[in-house]
Homo-oligomer: A and B are copies of this chain.
Amino acid sequence: MAGGSGSRFWPHSRKKRSKQFLSLVGKQTLIESTVRRFLPLTSPDHLFVVSNIGQKCEMEKQHLPVPSQNIIYEPIGKNTAPCIGLAALFVEARDPEAIMVVSPADHLIRQEDRFRKTVMAAVSLAGQKDALVTIGIQPDRPATGYGYIQIKENLGKLNGISSFSVRTFAEKPNLATAERFLKSGDFYWNSGIFIFKISVLLKAFEKYAPDLYEALLTLKKVIGNNNYEETLEKVYRQIRGISIDYAIMEKADNVFLVKGEFEWNDLGSWEQTYKLSKKDSDGNAIQGDVVTMDSRNCYISTSSGVIAVIGMEDIIIVQEKDATLICRRDRVEDVKKIVERFKRKNLQKYL
């Protein structure tokens, strides 16, 4: 899933260059890292990417090891349920018995061998139980920026990976609730990674989101035909924008969780990028031509020109050719909001 258009990483992310196309940590773009993460598990022609038509140019610049006919473009973003449904149709056309692994393209995952081991355990579970499987991340702090999943019953280990049945999904909690979740020990972070048989997923669509299922049936008829694009646009204009969590996972009774014990971060803000970056002895994470004096615990990145920083602490500074962000580290959630103000000030060209 590579259709996001977040503005939380402005000025690095722009309208036509969203988060998955950035190299926020390391040199590879997030989409590239995501694709390469799965290559040891399958052949390239079994990898599909769903993106947005507005990002086609940027996507083609990525030179992903994926056949171009496996890159699916949505005409407009309608959240994850339609995106996953559409991809499922493409996979079904190849093999109706296939098991599909769905992953966001803009997360950071380290310890990739363990990640792949976890995915394979989830694949077995999905095959054995006709289940909708999700990867839950063991929380190490009371994060308020993630959704949580509560487990019910321990199903033992699969190839060394713990698995559970799922009691419920919980939305992003407040701090007190997050602390309770952490303490209880049976709440996991929702990684947004899902694993299921195509047939099981489509049945779940039929049962829990019949309107979406109808739309998918319409699309199924036109895949590979001349009128595919026209129909896709028509269907997407009408289809309900909704996440797979809301539309299906929270309602279904055959949901399972495998425990992800790899390093995972959804890179939700510049603050998280700072935390994951290498720091110098002053606690500054620096990229590009930067000179600091008496400055500490700052994230300072420039891809164009020099930045001189004097006497600053706990600040995010990101400079691109035509735009600079200067933001207190505890205010990164407002990057999205300030970018919305650009329209009012007739500064759309910087979006």
Chain A residues within CB distance 8 Å of chain B: 10-11, 289, 291, 293-294, 302, 304-312, 315, 317, 319-328, 330-331, 334-335, 337-339, 341-342, 345, 347, 350
Of the residues B291, B311, B315, B342, contact of A345 by C-beta under 8 Å: B291
Whether B293 lies near A341 (C-beta < 8 A) is: yes
Whether A327 lies near B309 (C-beta < 8 A) is: yes
Smallest Cβ-Cβ distance to A328: which chain B residue: B311
**Main DSSP-derived SS at the A contact region:** mixed
How many Å from the CB of A272 to the closest CB on chain B?
Answer: 16
How many Å from the CB of A324 to the closest CB on chain B?
Answer: 5
Whether A305 lies near B321 (C-beta < 8 A) is: yes
Residues in chain B near residue A323, CB distance under 8 A: 305-308
How many Å from the CB of A201 to the closest CB on chain B?
Answer: 41
Per the bound structure, the CA–CA distance linking A350 and B347 in Å amounts to: 27
Residues in chain B near residue A321, CB distance under 8 A: 305
Whether A322 lies near B306 (C-beta < 8 A) is: yes
Residues in chain B near residue A320, CB distance under 8 A: 305
Give me 14 A-to-B residue pairs in the complex whose CB atoms sit less than 8 angstroms apart, sorted by A's number. Answer: A11-B308, A291-B338, A293-B331, A294-B331, A306-B324, A308-B324, A308-B327, A308-B338, A309-B327, A311-B328, A311-B330, A312-B326, A312-B328, A319-B324
Whether B347 lies near A331 (C-beta < 8 A) is: no
Whether B324 lies near A310 (C-beta < 8 A) is: no
Residues in chain B near residue A331, CB distance under 8 A: 293-294, 310-311
Of the residues B293, B302, B334, B350, contact of A337 by C-beta under 8 Å: B293
Given contacts A327-B310, A337-B293, contact A322 B304 (CB under 8 A): yes
Residues in chain B near residue A325, CB distance under 8 A: 307-308, 310
Residues in chain B near residue A317, CB distance under 8 A: 326
Smallest Cβ-Cβ distance to A304: which chain B residue: B322
Residues in chain B near residue A322, CB distance under 8 A: 304-306
Smallest Cβ-Cβ distance to A309: which chain B residue: B326
Smallest Cβ-Cβ distance to A322: which chain B residue: B305
Residues in chain B near residue A339, CB distance under 8 A: 308
Given contacts A291-B345, A294-B331, A347-B291, contact A326 B338 (CB under 8 A): no
Whether B310 lies near A335 (C-beta < 8 A) is: yes
Per the bound structure, the CA–CA distance linking A328 and B294 in Å amounts to: 10
Whether B334 lies near A310 (C-beta < 8 A) is: yes
Of the residues B306, B309, B315, contact of A350 by C-beta under 8 Å: B306
Whether B307 lies near A327 (C-beta < 8 A) is: no
How many Å from the CB of A270 to the closest CB on chain B?
Answer: 11
Residues in chain B near residue A347, CB distance under 8 A: 289, 291, 306
Per the bound structure, the CA–CA distance linking A312 and B10 in Å amounts to: 17
Per the bound structure, the CA–CA distance linking A342 and B290 in Å amounts to: 9
Additional A-B contacts beyond A293-B337, A307-B324 (9; CB < 8 A)? A305-B323, A305-B350, A307-B326, A308-B339, A310-B327, A310-B331, A311-B334, A312-B315, A312-B327
Given contacts A291-B341, A291-B345, contact A10 B308 (CB under 8 A): yes
Residues in chain B near residue A342, CB distance under 8 A: 291, 306, 308
